[in-house]
Amino acid sequence: LSAALALLGGSAAAVVVWKWLGKRQIQKQMEEARRTRDEGVKKMAKVVQQFREQVPSVQTDTILSLPLLELTRRLREGSLSPKTVLYTYLEKALEVTRQTNCLRHFIPECEEQLQEIQRQEEKGLLYGIPVSIKDHIGHKGHLSTCGLVQCLGTVVQEDSVLVKVLKRQGAIPFAMTNVPQSLFSYDCSNPIFGQTLHPFNRQKSPGGSSGGEGALIAGGGSILGIGSDIGGSIRLPSSFCGLCGLKPTAERLSVWCTRLLNMDVCSRPTPVPCAMGPMARDVDSLALCMKALLCQEMFRLDPTVPPIPFNEEVYSSSAPLRVGYYDTDGYFPLPPCMRRAVQETRGALQAAGHQLVPFSPPRIHYVMTELFLKTFFADGGRAWLDVFTGGIVDPSLKSQVNGCKIPRLAKKLLALILKPLQFLLLLLKLKNVATISTCRSVKEMWNHHHEIQAYRTEFIDRWKELQLDVVLCPVLGPAFTTGYPGKLLTAISSTMLYNVLNFPAGVVPVSTVTEADEEELKLYQGCCDDPWDQTLKQAVAGAVGLPVAVQCVALPWRDELCLRFMKEVETLSREK
């Protein structure tokens, strides 16, 4: 007996030591990644300093203030050099990342690309433009981490199609930006590179998952960025940071060689697809980026992308639009300032000669629980849990991770016990993570795919009955205090809807939070003043002066019409 106990004790000790060694190895990997990032920042700072010493008369503020269209014009005509523009933005990016921690890594090969574009016979549409890209967009010779330890040892062997096309059009990818761990969050924090902060308020989050892009562009350190969106990951940072951002129809831009979790997006069979898209300071910049990307080079490199060039005629049209609108989806009431933004924009559009029609999106609770989240947690979240190597989980994700770890039977018992209590509404929202129904068979999975298609048909039929061109609706905002996005996963219903539908949708800033908004927020009760409504109130409090945006939507493959509507909203808001 004593021998058996000794053997058991020795085995337990061995397991403890093995786990400790594993965690120590993970810590070393993370420390090495941070050291590599910091060394890259130091090297880039040195290069920028050398340039400033060689060319001390650069008009930095003038260059940084130029809109993208004007900057491209000056670069093409030669009144500005690509080198001057690149180092000006590198310098500004260094400043912004010191304040916000928005960069995951500089791309030193940007200097090689600078030389390459000067050898090209033709100047592309983005000639000499520095471009930032989200962490998981593949760039040869660099990591694509998704904020995950398991991705730290794999260097990308080939540029993604998007990066290849950007380079072909003369752009200079110069930085990769920070993301939340696993990308499944609209905060921007991971255990490797830390928390990214809002450029206008250090207590606030820039949003996510393209949060590094949002912070860098809003802070002035990039003029054009590429993000991705599978639940609002372009639109939410754009809303929080006061940018314009477009989630195109998913298949409009290539996703080849773009990592999502522990696999490539292009190999991930999901009925709610990931969309790549641009983020910038104005709508014209988004349109130019889409025009540059939708070229023969992309269609050649990725034959799965429909060869549909950018339709300039649609984007430039001035014909009156028939606009559907709503200021709440009936699922998660947004703060008063976001509804005000829709109402004021509706009035401006009507005064400008457009026809406004009330519109109500159907069955959002069903879409949120049975269509969207069931897509990603069809297996109860097991595949998602597998990406958290060594149990290293960012605090912003712990509630979701813990919810997925609850055994299925325990979830059902929890739901049964709590159902009669006053926390029923809270439970219904918690159900999205802790008690979400799963697909227990292949047949159920096929039925789930069919249900998504059926809902898309239902939504389009309602759209066509009203003869709508576009829809104006709210987007989540203003910027949350850091840490709160992880407590309010279900608050993304306003953006999530258009991922399920695969409609192009974009965000345009139209106002800022006022003192009156802040006072009205004190009276906000949401659905029934439950704990979730109170949490939302806490998340957005203290946002006076921060951006307020609206969302613009069009039917699938009408991306240019979506941009044209965004441009109209932008023009009217600036006139106001």
pLDDT along the chain (576 residues), means of 10: 70 68 88 96 97 94 98 97 98 98 97 95 96 97 94 93 98 98 96 98 98 98 98 98 98 83 47 96 98 98 97 98 97 95 98 98 93 83 84 89 79 63 46 58 88 97 98 98 93 97 98 98 86 93 98 98 98 93
Identified catalytic residue from 209, 285, 396, 511: 209
Question: Is residue 389 assigned to a domain?
Answer: yes
Question: Is residue 229 assigned to a domain?
Answer: yes
Q: Is 134 a catalytic residue?
A: yes
| Helical pair 82-100 and 211-218, crossing angle rounded to 10 deg | 110
The answer on 456 and 422 residing in a single domain is no
* Contact status, residue 332 vs residue 493, Cβ threshold 8 Å: yes
Identified catalytic residue from 92, 123, 134, 411: 134
The answer on 356 and 397 residing in a single domain is no
The answer on 233 and 114 residing in a single domain is yes
The answer on 425 and 510 residing in a single domain is no
What 3-state class would DSSP assign to 104?
strand
Query: What are the counts of helices (DSSP H) followed by strands (DSSP E) for the chain?
Result: 23, 15
Q: Among all chains, which residue has been given the structure tokens 């997925």?
A: 404
Domain boundary pick from 250, 285, 310:
310
* Contact status, residue 146 vs residue 189, Cβ threshold 8 Å: no
Identified catalytic residue from 132, 185, 233, 238: 233
Q: How many other CB atoms are there within 10 angstroms of residue 363's CB atom?
A: 14
The answer on 262 and 195 residing in a single domain is yes
The answer on 445 and 416 residing in a single domain is no
Residue 117 CA from chain centroid, whole number: 29
The answer on 243 and 346 residing in a single domain is no
- For 313-446, list the strands marked E by DSSP: 322-325, 355-358
Task: Report the pLDDT value the prediction gives residue 444, as an integer from 0 to 100.
Answer: 85
Q: Among all chains, which residue has been given the structure tokens 């000499």?
A: 128
Task: Report the pLDDT value the prediction gives residue 400, as an integer from 0 to 100.
Answer: 85
The Cα–Cα gap between 144 and 146 comes to: 6
Question: Is residue 559 assigned to a domain?
Answer: yes
Task: Report the pLDDT value the prediction gives residue 426, as an integer from 0 to 100.
Answer: 44
Question: Is residue 362 assigned to a domain?
Answer: yes
The answer on 566 and 426 residing in a single domain is no
Question: Is residue 68 assigned to a domain?
Answer: yes
Task: Report the pLDDT value the prediction gives residue 429, as an integer from 0 to 100.
Answer: 46
Task: Report the pLDDT value the prediction gives residue 182, as an integer from 0 to 100.
Answer: 94
The answer on 489 and 430 residing in a single domain is no
Q: Give me the CATH number covering residue 146.
A: 3.90.1300.10
The answer on 472 and 446 residing in a single domain is yes
Tell me which residue range forms the domain holding 419. Answer: 380-438
Task: Tell me which residue of 297, 268, 307 sits closest to 126, measured CA to CA.
Answer: 297
The answer on 276 and 192 residing in a single domain is yes
Which residues, at least 6 apart from 574, have a Cβ–Cβ distance to it below 8 Å? none
Q: Is 441 a catalytic residue?
A: no
Question: Is residue 108 assigned to a domain?
Answer: yes
Question: Is residue 287 assigned to a domain?
Answer: yes
CA angle 165, 169, 175 (to 5 degrees): 70
Q: Is 437 a catalytic residue?
A: no
Task: Report the pLDDT value the prediction gives residue 475, as an integer from 0 to 100.
Answer: 98
The domain total for the chain is: 3
The Cα–Cα gap between 236 and 499 comes to: 13
Question: Is residue 231 assigned to a domain?
Answer: yes
The answer on 177 and 59 residing in a single domain is yes
- Residue list for the binding site for substrate: 183, 209, 230-233
- Total number of residues shown for the chain: 576
What 3-state class would DSSP assign to 27?
helix
The Cα–Cα gap between 5 and 404 comes to: 35
**What are the helix (H) ranges across 55-81?**
60-65, 68-77
Task: Report the pLDDT value the prediction gives residue 436, as an integer from 0 to 100.
Answer: 60
The region that residue 147 occupies, defined by phi over 0 for left and psi between -120 and 50 for alpha, beta otherwise, is left
- For 61-171, list the strands marked E by DSSP: 103-106, 130-134
Which residues, at least 6 apart from 89, have a Cβ–Cβ distance to it below 8 Å? 64, 130, 174, 221, 222, 223
* Single-letter amino acid code for the residue at 22: G
Domain boundary pick from 438, 457, 474:
438
CA pseudo-torsion sign 226, 232, 233, 239:
positive
What 3-state class would DSSP assign to 550?
strand
The Cα–Cα gap between 483 and 283 comes to: 30
The Cα–Cα gap between 563 and 385 comes to: 37
* Contact status, residue 561 vs residue 570, Cβ threshold 8 Å: no
**DSSP states along 249-286:** -GGGS--TTBEETTEEGGG---SS--EEEEEESSHHHH
Domain boundary pick from 420, 438, 456:
438
